[in-house]
Amino acid sequence: METTLRGVGVSHGVAIGEVRHMGTAVLEPPAKQIPAEEAEREQGRARQAVEAVAADLIARGNLAGGEAQHVLEAQAMMAQDPELIADVERRIAVGSTAERGVYDAFAAYRALLANAGEYLAGRVADLDDVRNRIVARLLGVPMPGVPDSDEPYVLIARDLAPADTALLDPTLVLGFVTEEGGPTSHSAILARALGVPAVVALPGAGEIAEGTVVAVDGSTGEIFVEPSPEKRAEMESASAARKAALSAVTGPGATSDGHKVPLLANVGGPGDVPAAVEAGAEGVGLFRTEFLFLDDSKQAPSEEKQIAAYRAVLEAFPEGRVVVRVLDAGADKPLEFLTPADEPNPALGVRGLRSLLDHPDVLRTQLTALARAAEGLPVYLEVMAPMVADRADAKAFADACREAGLQAKFGAMVEIPSAALRARSILQEVEFLSLGTNDLAQYTFAADRQVGAVSRLQDPWQPALLDLVALSADAARAEGKSCGVCGEAASDPLLACVLTGLGVTSLSMGAASIPYVRATLAKHTLAQCERAASAARAADSAEEARLAAQAVLSGE
């Protein structure tokens, strides 16, 4: 009998298939005491297991590439956290075995994360996976993981760890459903990057029996258990119609009346390029270069290593536009050789361009590497600085670019309200603006990106945030320069129309979102987008803004 469940849809698409469950998690190790003379040996076992798991996660990241690589490298750093390791060793010193010390230390940290709001709670699955891998290695038992299957299936799990999600085979895993997680969890982020339909936060999902046929709608969050033939036909028809609509709209991004809106891809490294090319990206709107610097937090990568990575991306878009963001370190992305370790509030401290101006040698090497990587290529290279606050910042960055001999356009990211309010002043020094809507929301609403309790203020539909986007776009138009959006806001097809109506000149997003945004833009005229933008700005809340724009674009 058909039943309907509802979770949170986090990745577009429809999947229909038999359920397979994630492998059983590692069992809790016994709480037995060890003699004091064995403590040092057990501590050594724990350290070796931690290093082995961290190395395995990094190796998996290198294999997966792209966004998954950053996530797994962050997970490896979690495994090696000095405070966690110190806690493990303290527990062993008072009589715990290595595996029990790991289990209990991670449990204590897990409780802190679980109670720290939605964003940090979304990291619990990452922490659990690290714990399970270390304990499994110490116990000498197989790691939990994705089930073996020769036939395509819908994967169900309590939650999916990045190490598993990153290596999912989209030809076998039709979609996945998790009991926990949320829109900001790594599983959700990677599902969107993979283009796999996904639903999270579905209590009781684990009770669906192995082999049961389910239909998953990653857009609405609905799960149909044992769907009727009529429901299957309806969903398959809707999915086919959606795919047909997406494939029917090809070529450069544009509104229905021909107003061009270049659709670019956000990439984290060469591993993200194939998906961007396949999706028809017209270039790269945000090339995050942090991935190069995560391999060794104690020193910057060599100029030659940087050249090779940059050139691999630049070569993929001949005569296309590639916008590179120089290293954005600090806050939630600290680097030992670059960022202060004792800041009381790193998000408001020395991060982004501020760090680079304090370490001009690091900036100079990166800019020189970009100049050399672009030599002889027909690509349109643009380089931008993160966390620009005012004209002085913009001038310092532009001067550094010129001193490095960079033949490219220089730009500034608008992530601080002062940059939006004084955009015309900043544009006297640089040639384009790019809006990072995630950080812009954080600083506009004094709402930390990592605190779930203030997540409503991180909604890119907030009218105040749209006002700042409009200010920046108006300033760029007045100066005859461009203003793009490279934050997650651009991946929302409806919001993409509103951003276009606000005067944004390009949109950059994860590759999987490009076809959806392209097809939605193609349905509406520029005038409709402008009316939707005005309606959204006139609203008093994010939800009202979304509904107002939707009403305009649907002709209501």
Active site residues: 186, 486
**489/497 Cα distance (integer angstroms):** 11
The strand pairing partners of 284, in sequence order, are: 265, 322
**420/503 Cα distance (integer angstroms):** 14
**553/246 Cα distance (integer angstroms):** 18
Exposure string for 475-495, b = 16+ CB within 10 A, e = fewer: bbeebebbbbbbbbbbbbbbb
Question: HEC string of 472-537?
Answer: HHHHHHHHCCEEEECCHHHHCHHHHHHHHHCCCCEEEECHHHHHHHHHHHCCCCHHHHHHHHHHHH
**What radius of gyration do the chain's Cα atoms show?**
24
Q: Residue 502: which of 261, 266, 286, 321 has the closest Cα?
A: 261
Tokens 């969107």 belong to residue? 192
- CB-based contacts of 174: which residues, under 8 Å, 6+ apart? 15, 16, 17, 152, 153, 154, 196, 197, 216
Backbone angles phi, psi at 477, to 5 degrees: -60, -40
**22/246 Cα distance (integer angstroms):** 32
Q: What are 100's two structure tokens? A: 């029990």
Q: Residue 123: which of 453, 393, 349, 451 has the closest Cα?
A: 451
